[in-house]
Structure formats: structure tokens, C-alpha cells
Structure 1
Amino acid sequence: MRVRLALAWFGLMLALPAAAAEYVALPGGTFTSVLPADGKAAAAQVAPFRLRTELVTNGEFLAFVQKHPQWQRDKVAGILADARYLTQWEAPLVPGGQALPRQPVTRVSWFAAQAYCESEGARLPSWYEWEFAAAADATRRDARADPAWRESILGWYSRPSSSALPEVGGVANVYGVRDMNGLVWEWVDDFNALMVASDSREQGDPDLLKFCGAGAISLQEKENYAVLMRIAMLSALKAADTTNNLGFRCAKSN
């Protein structure tokens, strides 16, 4: 009975016209990243781009796997998603009471997140794009120098990871983007380029984001521990991995 009711509820939701995801324009520009562009102190260059205002939700991802059944948890190829993929859902097409429609979808692999973004004519944001957007608060484009702002972000890490996720739709930052900090970790397109051995960095590796974690922490913006923790977490993942608190949002190039 419970499963039938859940199916009826989500069936009703999907019968309604789907609202198009909202993207907002970010100006880009020269940006002081925790990962300097030259491995020493050079600022990053972020081209203007568009970013999804909200994280992708369970309800949206349900519509996606219905339309693209190869991404349902009982059909997805093992090379594209690990065994935990969407296991918080009651059934492959029933998120259920533990994964409400407006909560961010989690336990999704990088491959699945990228496929979803492509279905919106988008892509995952790069690390620099994500960091650029996440530096803003409600009134400032770059709030990182404010100790109170940094402390509020660190507060998220003290909350139990087993707690139910809030729904998306928190306070928007100055660009109109919501929940950049304090809700879930987020996939970025170039997550697997955030760490390499230090010897390749010292030899002038041309790839912009190739740094070992210890090297990154010793370079700059050391006070932004929350951002550095995200780098450490993302750099430890493989593209097929999923976790309880890892979701995503999409971006578009201008």
C-alpha cells in the first residue's frame, strides 16, 4: 500500500507541467582561488557563465530516470555508478518518504550527474566556477574575508551527516544562487584534476588544477578551511562513487 501511494503521489507530480530549471548569469572575472592558477599565487580567470540557481532535486532526478531508464538504479552499468547509487530511494522509480521531491538528490555518481546536466543542455560547473559562485553571500560577491561568514559555513560540518536533508531553496546569494554552502557537497566537472603528486607540480605541469592537497593548503586562502575540505573530499572520489551528502547543480557556458 505504501509503495502504491508513493507511486500515485509522484505520478501526480510528474503529470503536472515541469517548470524549467532556472539559470542565472554570473559575470566571471579574475578570481583568487585556493588553488592558484600557476601553483604559486596567480589568480584564476573565470569566463562569464550561467549557473543553476538550485541543486537538482529528487523529483527532478526521478523525471530524468523515467525518461532515461539506463540511469535507473537497477539498470545502470556498474562502471558508471557504484552499489550505493540511489539506494536511499524506496524503489528504482519511487524515492519515497526518505527522499522527498524538493530535497537535493544525493548518492549520484559523477557520470549520472553529467548525464542529467546534458539533458538540460548544460554541464557540471568547473571547480573555479563553483568556487567563484560559492564565495558570495547575500550582499557581497566575495565574502571570504569575513570571519563570521566563514564560521557560519564551518557550522555545517558539525551537524550529523545522518540528519535529514533540508529542501532546496535557501537564501539566495548576490547572484541569485541558493544553497552553495551548508546543504550538500557538490560534484564539479574537473573533480579528478584537483590533486596529483607534488613532483609533477614542481616540474611545471601545465594543467591548471593539478595540485596535491598538502600543497594547496600551504599556498593561499588557508583560512577557508571549508573550501579546502571540499577539495580534499572531491579529490578522493572516483567518477562512479556516490555518498550520502553529495549532490550537484548544472552550469552553462555563455
Structure 2
Amino acid sequence: MAARRLPALLLLGAAFAAPAAAADYAALPGGTFASVLPADGKAAPARIAPFRLRTEPVTNAEFLAFVKSHPQWRRDRVPAVFADARYLSHWAAADALGPDALPAQPVTRVSWFAAQAYCESEHARLPGWYEWEYAAAADARQADARADPAWRERVLAWYARPSSTPLPAVGGAPDVHGVRDLNGLVWEWVDDFNALLVGSDSRDQDGADKLRFCGAGAIGMQQKENYATLMRVAMLSSLRATDTTNNLGFRCARSE
């Protein structure tokens, strides 16, 4: 999409606005990683450079401070090309949270554009899918816990929770990297969400490739037992950059 070629803050004329408050970022070493989406579309592992990841999702309180210092991202001012009508609609007002958006809960109902703008205000960016998937594979003891049935059961348990259940506050137990709440709290935007199910062969690319997740197309994905991760791929690939949902938040990343 053309909008991705320019910083989201610059698009709304605020590239030099005050940065967001300091946040904690954990260092992840990177390396090769067996993604559910092979790097070559067949079996090649992903190669991930060392990076830093925000230890917690962005909260309502943090996003409120952002929209106050960057008022072009208020729900009553943001252009429709950058967010749909549900953007921050659960807040009590454009500049107030209210009982349905508690300060320590992760912010949700934010578009990809708004999430990217927030990350730029922290001199950061949204993580790529491989970075997010690599980080989310960890538990408290090991960097890749996906082969552990207890890890899979814990992650899948989140999908059984009714979507109407109020979101918990951020601050779950840290994983081996010191990152919290990657699984079991909210869905999270990634930078390349709209390229996840596009084939590596350009002849397969029709701009959507939405059938790749279904039927025989799913057979080509690795780690098929990690159903929860595949669900995230399917959900993210169905979105538009302007979309907002009740359970979709974000966190930021920085390159080393």
C-alpha cells in the first residue's frame, strides 16, 4: 500500500511532535527460526536479525498520552483513510478513557496506521511477522517452547475465552527474554500483516491470495500442530490497514 512508503506521523504532518514516554524494550538475539510460513514457501527457515521488542503491549494510558500530544490521531480528527469508524470507539471521549478502557489494559480498536504512528513516536516500528512469531515461541524457560504440549495448551486456552470477557491488565509473567503477554492477551499488529499469505512465486500473487490458508494451501505451512499460530496468520492476513477490532492491539520493535 502506498501509505507504507512514508512514516505514519509524516502523513499527518506531525513528524516532529514530542515522542511518547520511554518504554522498556528487551533484547532478542535473533537467528534462524522454523516459522509456520517458510521463508521460501517450502521449508526454509526464517533468518532474523537481532532486535529489541517492547516488553509489554501499548496500554490505553500510553495511547491516550500519545493522542494528546499528537491530536491528529484523536478519533474525532483522524481521516477515514487511516482508521475505520470503530477506532477507539470504546473510549468515553476522544481524549478520555472511561470505564470500558482502563489505563493498564492493552489499547485495542487501533488501526495499523495508528499503531505504526505510535511506534514511530517511540523511535521504533511495528515488528515483522517473523520477529513476532520468534518472540512468541518462548516461555519462561526456553526460547522455543513450541514442542512443549503445555505451551500449546496454554496458548490455545486463550481462544476458548469468550471475546466479551474484559481484557486483563498488561503485566503477565515474563518469558525467557523478559517479554510479557505475547500470547493470551490480545491479537497484535505486525508490520507485514498484508503479505503473510502471498506466495513466494510472483505468479501466485493476486493481491490477496486469501485461499492460501484453506484446504490444500494450508498443507504447505510448517508446524501445523501449532494451530494457534496459524490462527493468527489467518486473522492478520484478513485485515485492512484501516481495520480496528475489540481484541487487536500492538507493541513496537527496534532494530539493533
In the alignment, the residues of structure 2 paired with residue 91 and residue 217 of structure 1 have an alpha-carbon distance, to the nearest angstrom, of: 46
Q: Which residue of 2 is the match for residue 160 of structure 1? A: 162
Select the residue among 131, 134, 148 that pairs with 2:133.
131
Query: Where do residues 86-97 of structure 1 align in structure 2 (5 Å cutoff)?
Result: 86-97=88-99
Look up the equivalent residue of 1:131 and give its one-letter code.
Answer: E
Q: Give the paired residue count.
A: 232
Taking a change above 3 Å as real, the CA distance of residues 136 and 211 of structure 1, as seen in their structure-2 partners, is farther
Within the candidate set 101, 104, 112, 1:110 is matched to: 112
Question: TM-score, with normalisation over the residues of structure 2?
Answer: 0.87
Identity %: 72
Of 23, 26, 35, which residue of structure 2 is paired with 1:24?
26
Q: Is the 8 A contact 2:170 2:181 kept in 1?
A: yes
**Contact map agreement 2:104 2:170 (CA 8 A) in 1:** yes
Separation (CA, whole Å) in 2 of partners of 1:211 and 1:120: 36
Corresponding residue for 2:201?
201
Quick one: distance in 1 between partners of 2:61 and 2:222? 39
What secondary structure does 1:212 align onto?
Answer: helix
Aligned to 1:78: 80
Alignment of 1:213-224 (within 5 A): 213-214=213-214, 215-224=217-226
Cα distance in 1 for partners of 2:193, 2:173 equals: 26
Larger Rg: 1
C-alpha displacement at 1:146, in angstroms? 0.7
Deviations 1:144-198 (A, max 9, x none): 00112101110000101011100000000000000000000000000000123x6
Aligned-residue CA RMSD (Å): 1.9
Shift of 1:78: 0.4
Q: How far, CA to CA, are the matches of 1:234 and 1:213 in structure 2?
A: 12
Long gaps (5+) in structure 1? 1-17
- The whole-number CA distance in structure 1 between the counterparts of 2:167 and 2:219 is 29
Which amino acid is 1:90 matched to? A
* Runs of at least 4 residues off by over 3 Å: 200-205
In the alignment, residue 71 of structure 2 is paired with which amino acid? P
Specify the alignment match of 2:100 in structure 1.
98
What is the identity, as a one-letter code, of the residue corresponding to 1:39? Answer: G
Contact 1:55 1:247 in 2 (8 A): yes
Is the 8 Å Cα contact of residues 29 and 48 (structure 1) preserved in structure 2?
yes
Q: Does the residue aligned with 1:24 lie in a helix, a strand or coil?
A: strand
Show the counterpart of 2:147: 145
In structure 1, the residue matched to 2:183 is 181
| Residue of structure 2 equivalent to 1:212 | 212
**Cα shift at 1:201:** 3.4
Quote the Cα distance in structure 2 between the aligned partners of 1:217 and 1:112: 34
List runs of 5+ in structure 2 lacking aligned partners: 1-19
| TM-score w.r.t. length of structure 1 | 0.87
